Amino acid sequence: MTPDAKPLHQQVQKNIERLLHAACEGSGYICNGNTNIRLTPHDMPSPDVFIVSWPAWRRAVHNNEYVNVPPLLVIEILSPGQDVSEKRDVYLTAGVDEVWIVDPAERTVIAWTGQWRGHGYQTEEKVSLPSPLKGELSVADFFAGLPDRE
């Protein structure tokens, strides 16, 4: 059995979900996580957090099936020693617009786009939401409630 995420990971995930729920309000998109997404017949990852269109989400709920369209945004939160480069590549190859890799240990975010370009953001910076969503999120807010780094 795979162990559940530790509390630090869960705190970061809840922070991000809260921020994205607010950002998606009235946009035609919904923030969710911890469910598989059918990207190809062989690739069904379960991102920590993702944003998908309301119609795609409602269709999955109505048909009791996995979301089967690439999300607008996927977020993976690193655990110590974890390498998510393979998952990132699967997401981008399948057509996910943006993939954010969040590193709680370093308090950073790397935003990867469909052009395979990554841009790093530090705690004091803001990361722009993918279009058609509007606005920016403070990277520091991702890590609210975490202990100070030593």
Nearest to 137 by CA among 23, 25, 21: 23
Q: Tens-digit pLDDT profile for the chain (150 aa)?
A: 566 778 999 999 999 999 999 999 999 999 999 899 999 888 999 999 999 999 999 999 999 999 999 999 999 999 888 888 889 999 999 999 999 999 999 999 999 997 677 899 999 999 999 999 999 999 999 999 998 876
Yes or no: is domain 7-142 CATH 3.90.1570.10? yes
How many residues appear in the chain? 150
Dist. CA 125–CA 92, nearest whole Å? 24
Domain range list for the chain: 7-142
What is the pTM (predicted TM-score) of this model?
Answer: 0.93
List of E strands, the chain: 29-32, 49-53, 73-77, 98-103, 108-113, 118-121, 126-128, 136-138
